[in-house]
Structure formats: structure tokens, C-alpha cells
């Protein structure tokens, strides 16, 4: 009987979310990083004063991947179609096209290219899959990440400086 990859010691599950009050406006990101083999869990959140929802969605993934210390098998769980499709479908083409996208047959710069390039660098060495979940539909970790991201930007707005 084979070992399920989800039980492998190098497997981690990264739940992420981003939130924004206004678009643009103050926003927050959050992640929960689970290591099923040990039962360890790490949670973090942060905020930015003037940002967009898509940037915060990307920051949750970036900050979560940034804490990994060695190559892992990573399942990223997100409610963001932008992140899910960006990673699994769009990014390979963007890279081939010099970080440009086609719009009506014309190449245009990729939005949030700074974050997509950071994410691309963080993916090196990992085996990554992306799972899209529906937001605000009772997925426990997704809901927790959402609460954490919202709380992060609310705390930042309440405590300027």
C-alpha cells in the first residue's frame, strides 16, 4: 500500500485569504500553515494602508510560502480565483511573454507584477498544487483567514503609526 502524499513529512497545507475595505483602501492578508505529519500550525496576518483585494490575496500566499525553510509539497487553499488561476493557468504564459498578458491581441503589463514575481521566486523548489474553495461558505480555515485579515487591517486603521 502506497503512502498518501498528504501524510508525507514534507507536505504542508497553506490556507490563505486577503481582505480590503474599499478597493483600493486599507487591506489585510492572512495565512494558516498546517503540517499534518506533526500537527503543527502557524498563523500570521498583516495589513497595508492603501492596497487592493488582489494584492492582499497574493500577500497571504507570499507570506505563507516565505516561512518555509526547506522544499515542501505545498497545497495552497484559496478562495481567490485570481490567485488560483494566476498560479495554475496564467503565470506560465506571463513568464513566456516577459511578464505581459494579452488583451485584445495586444501585450500589456501584468497587474501586480511585483507580487507575482515575488511569488514565482518563492515557488522554486516546492511541489505546489492549488485548491480553490468558495469564500464565505463555511470552510473553517478560509473563514478564519478572512477574520484574521479583516482584523489586521482594522487594527492598523485604529492604531495609525
Catalytically active residues, by annotation: 17-18, 57, 79, 136, 146
Strands 73-78 and 100-103: unpaired
> Residue 115, SS3?
helix
Residue 25: burial class (beta carbons within 10 Å; 0-12, 13-18, 19+):
middle
How far apart CA 26 and CA 20 sit, in angstroms, is 6
> Residue 28, SS3?
strand
Amino acid at each position: 500500500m502506497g503512502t498518501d502524499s498528504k501524510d508525507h513529512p514534507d507536505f504542508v497545507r497553506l490556507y490563505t485569504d486577503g481582505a480590503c475595505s474599499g478597493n483600493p483602501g486599507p487591506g489585510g492578508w492572512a495565512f494558516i500553515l498546517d503540517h499534518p505529519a506533526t500537527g503543527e500550525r502557524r498563523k500570521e496576518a498583516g495589513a497595508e494602508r492603501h492596497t487592493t483585494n488582489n494584492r492582499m490575496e497574493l500577500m497571504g500566499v507570499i507570506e505563507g510560502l516565505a516561512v518555509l525553510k526547506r522544499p515542501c509539497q505545498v497545497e495552497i487553499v484559496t478562495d481567490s480565483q485570481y490567485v488560483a488561476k494566476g498560479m495554475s493557468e496564467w503565470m506560465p504564459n506571463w513568464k513566456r511573454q516577459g511578464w505581459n498578458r494579452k488583451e485584445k491581441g495586444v501585450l500589456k503589463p501584468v497587474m501586480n507584477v511585483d507580487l507575482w514575481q515575488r511569488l514565482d521566486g518563492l515557488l522554486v523548489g516546492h511541489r505546489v498544487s492549488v485548491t480553490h474553495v468558495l469564500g464565505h461558505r463555511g470552510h473553517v480555515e478560509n473563514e478564519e483567514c478572512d477574520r484574521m485579515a479583516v482584523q489586521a487591517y482594522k487594527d492598523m486603521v485604529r492604531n495609525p503609526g
